[in-house]
Amino acid sequence: MQPRLAGLIIIALGLLWLLKNFGLVDVNIGRLIVTFWPVLLILWGIDSFRRKGNNNFVGITGGVILVGLGILFLGHNLSYYAFDVSVVWKVVLPLVVMLVGWSLLRGPLKTSGGTHFAIMSGINLKSPGWKLENGSFLAFMGGAEIDLTVADIPDEPVELNLTAVMGGIDIRVPAGLGVEFEGTALLGGVDFIGEESGGLFASRRFRQSSAPGAGKKLVIRGMAVMGGIKVKH
């Protein structure tokens, strides 16, 4: 979701709270938040369409899932229909634990870059000269944007382990950088330089050769569950 929209929503809640304190409106702020929080998921999904583009499978998949979950929870909160909300968390939370374990098992041998988490938040590595190191990224209902065109890339192979759960990870790579990509998607999508795979289950390997004389190489292993991973120029 765009920061400006999130800011407007927070300001509106603060204004309602202020008016309630002076007795100008009669509204239960807590009840309002508990009932309408799924609207944030719907807005987030709509924003995913706008940012990713309607012709991009990853953006469509992530947007549809977020909007669908938002409508599901909102309808339940408004008593339009009844369903066991705990079923969703009974599936999602164990899945997240399993993916964290998978991320550790398949993580790079060298972990100088550590593990980066984006849980309902965002990671942006776009500052010129930032140092690329072996590491892992986990995006749960959040996103990560990694720009390697401005990074300090070492002259040895670098390994990145990516896991996206109901979120997205975008990596921008220089045209001459050698890249090996192994991606698995479950109800999501992976996109490597325009080559897309996704759906109920998909597993693909892609490769981009390095420029003549270049020794730099990037190895990416990714898993997307109800989300997307995209590698682009």
Structure tokens, 111: 């972990």
Residues 104, 221 contacting (CB under 8 angstroms): no
Assign 224 a pLDDT band (cuts: 50, 70, 90).
confident
- Closest of 221, 185, 193 to residue 209, by C-alpha: 193
pLDDT digit string (tens) for 125-182? 988 989 999 988 988 878 889 999 999 988 888 999 998 887 889 999 988 888 999 8
- Closest of 109, 136, 233, 231 to residue 181, by C-alpha: 231
Taking the complete model, does pTM exceed 0.85, yes or no?
no
Q: Measure the CA angle with vertex 188, ends 184 and 194; round to 5°.
A: 75
Q: What are phi and psi of 127, to 5 degrees?
A: -75, 135
Question: How high does pLDDT run on average in the chain?
Answer: 79
Measured between alpha carbons, how far is 194 from 166 in angstroms, rounded to an integer?
A: 21
Whether the per-residue pLDDT at 233 is higher than 80: the answer is yes
For the residues 100-117, what does the mean pLDDT come to?
A: 60
Bigger pLDDT: 73 or 106?
73
pLDDT digit string (tens) for 48-88? 666 544 445 445 656 677 788 889 889 988 988 887 877 77
Residues 126, 171 contacting (CB under 8 angstroms): no
Assign 108 a pLDDT band (cuts: 50, 70, 90).
very low
